[in-house]
Amino acid sequence: MYKIVTKRQLNEAVTLMEVEAPYIAAKARAGQFIIFRIDQYGERIPLTIADRDKEKGTVTIIFQAVGTSTKALAQLNEGDSILDFVGPLGNATEIDGYKNVCVVGGGVGCAIAYPSAKALFNAGAHVDMIAGFRNKDIVILEDEMRAVCHNLYVTTDDGSYGEKGFVTNKLQSLIDAGNKYDLVIAIGPIPMMKFLSEVTRPYGIKTLVSLNPIMIDGTGMCGGCRVTVGGNIRFACVDGPDFDGHEVDFDELMRRNSYYKAQERESASHECRMLAAGEAAREAAAADGASEAKKEEQ
């Protein structure tokens, strides 16, 4: 069991948790992920490692409560435990040899972009960071991101905070201003990563994207996380999660990620009759016990 030592609500839907996992904390690097399972009834869900503390033996995850398992995880509190917490999985983000980098995060993708920016910053690269959100209310990790880059540009779609506009517009303006980036890292919604890759393509700027296909085992055996990169089938869990954004078939990825939308909606409202029956039986047994105890008192 893996104990939750810290829980912090970053906005209405996004939660930060620090989990006691010393073996993972000792080895994890930026860009890698874990797979968790809350209990024996839970599904396996991948989450990128947002940070780690080797001395404390903890791993930080940041997630948005959107599905059955992440909503259940968000209900846990400090002191509670998670049944399975496996990692570090995947390949770490490339950081060696880059001097001038722009790291772009969109929404909760900033939680994944943050450790990459931190690793590059600590390696001595000049790091610009663009963080995009729909509005002011959902901005997360601003102080943390500002501490690991030379320039932080916050954008909001509605202009309620930072600069009004999209991250693609901001990246284009930075390139137009003469910034000579040798690497751009883009992490966020699939359409955002697709269009950012198109911004950098004409300039030949290497662009890495972190992909989030459907994933089950995380070891390359199930094939669920397959993606097409450069015309070849790759597996995000063992070949990624970072890939060359100029070679990813984003349209295929979006189609595959939408395959199970109906089942996800059903899962959100589903109530297991076997579990409900078991709960009813326990309540009936408790009531019978209370009744017998009352008779003995009389």
pLDDT in tens, 126-176: 999 999 999 999 999 999 999 999 999 999 999 999 999 999 999 999 999
Residue partners of 141: CB distance under 8 A and separation at least 6: 10, 62, 110, 111, 114, 131
What is the reported pLDDT for 284? 67
Instruction: Name which CATH class applies to 2-89.
Output: mainly beta
pLDDT at residue 290, rounded to an integer: 57
If you average pLDDT over every residue of the chain, what do you get? 88
CATH number given to 100-257: 3.40.50.80
- In this predicted structure, the answer to whether residue 295 has a pLDDT above a threshold of 60 is no
pLDDT (0 to 100) of residue 214? 82
Instruction: Give the DSSP letter string of 92-152.
Output: PPP-TT--EEEEEEEGGGHHHHHHHHHHHHHTT-EEEEEEEESSGGG---HHHHHTT-SEE
Tell me how far apart the alpha carbons of residues 286 and 26 are, in angstroms, rounded to a whole number: 46
276 has pLDDT over 80: no
| Residues pairing with 169 in the sheet | none
The per-residue pLDDT for range 33-53, each reduced to its tens digit, is: 999 999 888 888 899 999 999
What pLDDT, on the 0 to 100 scale, is given for residue 241? 92
What's residue 204's pLDDT? 95
> Of the ranges 56-60, 159-163, 194-198, 211-215, which one carries the lowest mean pLDDT score?
211-215
The model's pTM: 0.82
Q: 222 vs 238, which has greater pLDDT?
A: 238
Domain extents for the chain?
2-89, 100-257
The span from the CA of 192 to the CA of 209, in Å, is 10
